[in-house]
Structure 1
Amino acid sequence: MKTGVTVATSEFEDASRAKGFRSITGVEWRSLSLAGLGWMFESYDSFLLSLLLPTLALQFGLSKAQLGLFTSITAAGQIVGGILFGYVSDRLGRVRTALLCVGIYSLFSGLIAFAPNEHWFATLRFFGALGMGGTWTAGAALIAETWHASRRGKGGALMQMGLPIGAILAITICGIVSGANDGLAGHGWRLLFLIGASPFFILFWIARKTPESPIWLERKHAKATLQKHDPASADKLNVRGLLTAFGFIFFLQYLYWGVFTWTPTFLVTVKHLDFVHSLKFVLSLQFGAITGFLLFSAFVDRLGRRPMFLAYLLVGAAAVGVYILSSNPLLLMAAIFLTGFSVNGIFAGAGPFLAEIIGNTASRGFYMGLAYNGGRLGGFIAPLIIGALASTSGGFVLGLATTIVAFVAAAVVVFFAPETRGKALS
């Protein structure tokens, strides 16, 4: 076992500092395959619920408030799971925890297909969401610790591309199943969740060929020595780094959920546009996100974390400004694309930045999970604040404008944060 650790560590340390795709090692590609596909299938599962809410309302005879409970239960499970499995990944390992989380959301997604009523559906959804939340934490830690420091940002950005790809996958499979079953009522929606049970069987074989994080292995084997000579050294916490990470994610989550929860309704009720529920609206948003992730991956390791974050925040604030000030359909469609580009795309840097800003600690997985999932509180608050202000057109404009405040606040956090490009992790 010790020999395997030495080989993995040597490959990690001797990797070329070149930043192009050709320099990416086999170990890095395998870690990306596990983390990225796990995140993609999690996105499929998450987005599937949004697509199926009207069908579930008819199936179970639910009100909009009751349907909202499904979304809240999912969010709660993701928060708990993200923190819990961050802790587990520090003890069990990144690869095994990632596969465990995929197994959890696959199992409960499959079981939802047989839910007899809304109570069973909600219960199964919560337990599945535990795995959904943990998938990002374990995967992001694996990427941060496996990819060479000179291209760690690229690895994190490519992993995050699973988010829009998973959403597009959900839209596509929904369309196929709906067409084949003459709609999603009856057994159509159940088949979609049954398909959601397949990721574990796909990723099991990938996980078997994915080496564990060399940093995690080194810490595991050095644990006894560290505890003997300096018991506190294995788990020192950079409090400022953790607070910076939390604040950054809090504001990102606020603007993300504020924008994407209310923009469609805003464009319909205030701008009186009818295209926001169409496929072109959704696809413009998702392809904007993919473009944002690709551009981020291409430049983040060359230009640094701070310049990329600040540029994306500026573009996002401008896009929301267009929503508020313009009624031109072409401008609004361009703003939709740029919203996907910036508000989704900025998450491309979240994983590496959190790992780097939190620093070297034996509890990196737990603190990354705590910062990312604790920061989801911003996503919980945003829809409530904007919804409370949206009783009138003027109030709706004011509510949506609070996301611009979040853009500025996130930029302030980034401005005062240290640049972490190329930072060595141990």
Structure 2
Amino acid sequence: MNRNSTTPVDTVTTTIPARLDRLPWSRWHWMIVIGLGTVWILDGLEVTVVGAVAGRIAEDGSGLAITDAQVTGVAAALYVAGACAGALFFGRLTDRFGRKRLFLVTLAVYLAATALTAVSFTAWWFFLFRFLTGLGIGGEYAAINSAIDELIPSAFRGRVDLIINGSYWLGAVGGSLLSVPALNTDVFPKNLGWRLTFALGVVLGLVILLVRRHVPESPRWMLIHGRAAAAERLVDDVEAKIERDTSRQLPQATDEMTIHQRGTIRFVEIARTVFRDYPRRATLGFALFIGQAFLYNAITFGFGTILITFFDVPSGATGYYFAIIAAGNFMGPLLLGRYFDTWGRRPMIAGTYILSGLLLFATAGLFGAGLLDATTMTLCWCLVLFFASAGASSAYLTVSEIFPMETRAMSIAFFYAIGTAAGGISGPLIFAGLTSSGVVADAVLAFCIGAGLMVAAGLVAVVFAVAAERRSLEDIAPPLSVASTS
């Protein structure tokens, strides 16, 4: 085992980052994935349920006086606005107080707001708790992605991050299929089925919370914030468990790093670091988030409305179609994720963004020419989103690994908030009208805008993407607290 050796009180020389990166995949890493990553399944369940049941909630007898456009437009925009606010608020707290505290708090906020959504009795109540649900999930993005990248070995970081972010779509599949019996008035009355779908999300979230209690704090964060001894003990325990499980002794980690321990880092210093020291990387983060946010928040989550409006699909059957495109979304990161670690970040990020945009342009052309029905439209979207989902997941991976550790959660939060505000707040408000107007040309325009932004983001990645594959986080972007490395 490698022990930390310390010089003066506020300075520590450590091999902990190298020790974490050289670990083989183990049951301990699976615990991290299950405890942290499975919350995206809940997010997917949540958002998909709202899209799938929007038509039913808007019907007479649902228990809410609300329109379809308000559910898919106003409520969706408020959910995303909450997510942006939550990312910024909780992201700052995550960098200041640690990953573990915040990923417990944000899940609790998410669960409470979802439970209260299930008992909505007026439109304003529904809108309020959609906003608060978004607040919790926005905080999750910052806390979870920073913790995952700091705990997963560099050789696996790309594929694990993509698959975890892509697991959102497992929840989307579940939400789509769940909406079918929930919308069946022979099973549940109109005013009950949609409420039970939200309640189920709360139950699943409580199970995840039980697992998450065992996920440790990030040793990297502990090192910088004056808890080097605790970080050392944690990594010692992890190494001992892995050696027992594998019956092999781990190789020595020799790469050392000396850091000056510090407390809170001012927001001004974070902003100066990101935009003055890493302008190319900041441009990349903006482009990737804006492109994927428009595609998903503005168009994809209105897919149920498109099926009903243009193809006369019954509202109770849209879940089957959405389950298909959700499966395509998950298969993208699952099957393509490993190539982000082997072929590299630049070709895979640029390739997935550009190819998904070109395929969406083709889909828009076929739709505009009247050559698609509900089934073929769904298959086209499935192909588009196979590549787009891998690209969108790589946006979170990118901004979480290309900036210094002290700014990681806040960087994720900032780019998520800015990109999602541009694509996720304005998008639903703009595209809800385009995709629900019943005019084919309006929907084609919506598709082309989303496709154009994806292609543009891919071209930015061609120039600015960072070759971060299989590299230590400290090598990609040295911590602000670093004194020396060897």
User: Is the TM-score greater than 0.5?
Assistant: yes
Deviation at 1:416, TM superposition (A): 1.6
Counterpart residue identity of residue 342, structure 1: F
After superposition, the Cα gap between the structure-2 partners of 1:108 and 1:310, relative to the gap in structure 1 and judged at 3 Å, is: same
Bigger mean CA offset, 341-350 vs 174-183: 174-183
Equivalences for residues 106-121 of structure 1 within 5 A? 106-121=111-126
Tell whether 2:449 aligns with 1:402: yes
SS of 1:52's partner is: helix
1:194 and 1:278 map into 2 onto residues whose CA distance is 21
Tell whether 2:387 aligns with 1:342: yes
SS of 2:216's partner is: coil
Partner of 1:54: 55
After superposition, the Cα gap between the structure-2 partners of 1:351 and 1:28, relative to the gap in structure 1 and judged at 3 Å, is: farther
Bigger mean CA offset, 329-338 vs 285-294: 329-338
After superposition, the Cα gap between the structure-2 partners of 1:263 and 1:316, relative to the gap in structure 1 and judged at 3 Å, is: farther
Partner of 1:370: 414
Counterpart residue identity of residue 392, structure 2: F
Deviation at 1:77, TM superposition (A): 0.9
After superposition, the Cα gap between the structure-2 partners of 1:425 and 1:103, relative to the gap in structure 1 and judged at 3 Å, is: same
After superposition, the Cα gap between the structure-2 partners of 1:202 and 1:183, relative to the gap in structure 1 and judged at 3 Å, is: same
SS of 2:215's partner is: coil
8 A contact 2:37–2:165 mirrored in 1: yes
Deviation at 1:94, TM superposition (A): 1.3
Equivalences for residues 142-153 of structure 1 within 5 A? 142-153=147-158
Bigger mean CA offset, 127-136 vs 24-33: 24-33
Selected match of 2:190 from 185, 191, 199: 185
1:109 and 1:181 map into 2 onto residues whose CA distance is 25
Tell whether 2:291 aligns with 1:251: yes
Counterpart residue identity of residue 130, structure 1: L
Counterpart residue identity of residue 39, structure 1: W
Greater percentage in helix: 1
Partner of 1:424: 472
- Structure 1: give runs of 5+ residues left out of the alignment: none
8 A contact 1:36–1:162 mirrored in 2: yes
After superposition, the Cα gap between the structure-2 partners of 1:190 and 1:416, relative to the gap in structure 1 and judged at 3 Å, is: same
2:48 and 2:215 map into 1 onto residues whose CA distance is 27
Deviation at 1:121, TM superposition (A): 2.5
1:214 and 1:28 map into 2 onto residues whose CA distance is 14
Selected match of 1:381 from 401, 421, 426: 426
Deviation at 1:372, TM superposition (A): 1.2
SS of 2:273's partner is: coil
Counterpart residue identity of residue 381, structure 1: S
After superposition, the Cα gap between the structure-2 partners of 1:184 and 1:340, relative to the gap in structure 1 and judged at 3 Å, is: farther
After superposition, the Cα gap between the structure-2 partners of 1:262 and 1:50, relative to the gap in structure 1 and judged at 3 Å, is: closer
8 A contact 1:234–1:361 mirrored in 2: no
SS of 1:314's partner is: helix
Partner of 1:99: 104
8 A contact 1:35–1:135 mirrored in 2: no
Partner of 1:44: 45
8 A contact 1:38–1:203 mirrored in 2: yes
8 A contact 2:17–2:472 mirrored in 1: no
Equivalences for residues 129-140 of structure 1 within 5 A? 129-140=134-145
2:308 and 2:131 map into 1 onto residues whose CA distance is 32
1:264 and 1:323 map into 2 onto residues whose CA distance is 17
Deviation at 1:93, TM superposition (A): 1.6
After superposition, the Cα gap between the structure-2 partners of 1:258 and 1:177, relative to the gap in structure 1 and judged at 3 Å, is: closer
SS of 1:61's partner is: coil
Deviation at 1:158, TM superposition (A): 1.8
8 A contact 2:351–2:458 mirrored in 1: no
Deviation at 1:394, TM superposition (A): 4.0
Counterpart residue identity of residue 414, structure 1: A
8 A contact 2:355–2:455 mirrored in 1: no
8 A contact 2:103–2:140 mirrored in 1: yes
1:70 and 1:370 map into 2 onto residues whose CA distance is 22
1:211 and 1:86 map into 2 onto residues whose CA distance is 18
After superposition, the Cα gap between the structure-2 partners of 1:331 and 1:86, relative to the gap in structure 1 and judged at 3 Å, is: same
Bigger mean CA offset, 366-375 vs 110-119: 110-119
1:385 and 1:119 map into 2 onto residues whose CA distance is 21
1:232 and 1:278 map into 2 onto residues whose CA distance is 45
- Structure 2: give runs of 5+ residues left out of the alignment: 7-13, 229-258, 475-486
After superposition, the Cα gap between the structure-2 partners of 1:385 and 1:186, relative to the gap in structure 1 and judged at 3 Å, is: closer
Tell whether 2:83 aligns with 1:81: no
Partner of 2:223: 218
1:282 and 1:231 map into 2 onto residues whose CA distance is 44
SS of 2:202's partner is: coil
**Residues 149-199 of structure 1, C-alpha deviations (whole Å, 9 max, x = no match):** 221101211211321111122233334555697235233333332223224
Equivalences for residues 8-47 of structure 1 within 5 A? 13-14=18-19, 23-47=24-48
Counterpart residue identity of residue 351, structure 1: Y
SS of 1:60's partner is: coil
Deviation at 1:109, TM superposition (A): 1.6
After superposition, the Cα gap between the structure-2 partners of 1:214 and 1:78, relative to the gap in structure 1 and judged at 3 Å, is: same
Deviation at 1:333, TM superposition (A): 4.3
Partner of 2:242: none
1:210 and 1:274 map into 2 onto residues whose CA distance is 44
Deviation at 1:135, TM superposition (A): 1.2
What is the aligned length? 415
Equivalences for residues 159-174 of structure 1 within 5 A? 159-174=164-179
Partner of 2:401: 356
1:10 and 1:180 map into 2 onto residues whose CA distance is 61
**Residues 117-154 of structure 1, C-alpha deviations (whole Å, 9 max, x = no match):** 22223223322221111112211111111111221101
1:274 and 1:232 map into 2 onto residues whose CA distance is 50
Tell whether 2:335 aligns with 1:295: yes
SS of 2:100's partner is: helix
Deviation at 1:89, TM superposition (A): 0.9
Equivalences for residues 217-296 of structure 1 within 5 A? 217-221=222-226, 225-227=260-262, 235=270, 237-239=273-275, 240=279, 241-261=281-301, 278-296=318-336
Counterpart residue identity of residue 126, structure 2: F
8 A contact 1:275–1:281 mirrored in 2: no
| Higher gyration radius (CA) | 2
Deviation at 1:365, TM superposition (A): 0.5
Q: How much identity, in percent, do the aligned residues show?
A: 21
8 A contact 1:144–1:355 mirrored in 2: yes
Deviation at 1:234, TM superposition (A): 8.0
2:261 and 2:269 map into 1 onto residues whose CA distance is 6
